[in-house]
Amino acid sequence: MTRAGRWIVMLCAWCLVTVTAAFATEVSPFNLSPGFPTALDDAYPVNEGAFLVQPAFRFDKTTDRDYVRGRLTADLRWGVARGVELFAGATAIRGPLLPGTMDDPRAVQTGLLYRLTRQDQPLSLLPSLAIRMTVQIPFQGPVHDPAFRGELLASWDLADGWWLHANGGYQVVPGDQPGLQSPGRTSVWYGRLGVVKALTPDLGLVVDATYSQDYTRTVGRLVTPELGLTYGLTPNWILMAGAGTDFGNSEFRANVRGSLSASWVF
């Protein structure tokens, strides 16, 4: 067996052991992932050894169209080690490409979340910090160069079932890929602030707002408030729903955007 073959066998064995150990692992419905149920993200990776499958139906209705555009996406997340999460996602079924979005529906999104620091105790000033690095690799369309996104995530446990999350991000894209941002807009920065409230031990409310450069055109800004619910149906199933709207001058802004999604843990 070649050296590369041995590495592949060892990697497969490690995956098998980790996934087997993760059987019946429980993931909290309050542990957020971007897009589940809203764009708000937190600095908490998924449990070490947990493997999540996250299907989602996403929709938006922009001001230039009189119909609702839908997409079916699927994401995988793996708590590969303590404080490290690997993820990959893609769009399975999509409607029209335009107006463009932050996620390229003709690309695979993959990357990692790395936990930097942790909050010592609830209400302490220093938050849990993490970085999320995402690369979008197109598999269709005229562009084959990847797009990159870097995010700094901060999370505070405020006690009594409240958590505060702040996200700051920057995305650079090669341009000329219809469906990924607006033509001519090759970079976008954004900031996001939101809270999670545990209404009951298995039901969470998510409220957040994003302030960003307008990725649907080359100028302007967008403000996007969102509302979401997350419910731990069983130890293996989490159901989520989110909705929001864009405020701005763009004719391509979303009057309504939302998602229905689930996390299946094994």
Partner 1 sequence: MGVLTRPMQRATADESADLRAALVRRAWATYVDIIRS
| 61 or 118: CB nearest partner 1 | 118
Judged by CB under 8 A, the residue of 17, 159, 235, 249 near partner 1 is: 235
According to DSSP, the residues that pair with 193 across neighbouring strands are 166, 209
Judged by CB under 8 A, the residue of 91, 155, 182, 210 near partner 1 is: 155
DSSP for residue 1: -
Amino acid at 73: T
Interface stretch with partner 1, choices 5-13, 41-49, 87-95, 221-229 (CB under 8 A)? 41-49
Per CB under 8 A, contacts with partner 1 among 98-127 are: 118-119, 121
Judged by CB under 8 A, the residue of 88, 135, 158, 202 near partner 1 is: 202
CB of 28 to partner 1, least distance (A): 3
Instruction: Lay out the site mask for partner 1 across 42-81 (x = CB under 8 A, - = otherwise).
Output: --xx-x----------------------------------
> 58-62: long-range contacts (C-beta < 8 A, 24 or more apart)?
58/257, 58/258, 58/259, 59/257, 59/258, 59/259, 60/254, 60/256, 60/257, 60/258, 61/254, 61/255, 61/256, 61/257, 62/99, 62/216, 62/252, 62/253, 62/254, 62/255
Amino acid at 171: Q
Binding site for partner 1 (CB under 8 A): 26-31, 44-45, 47, 82, 118-119, 121, 128, 155, 157, 201-202, 232, 234-235
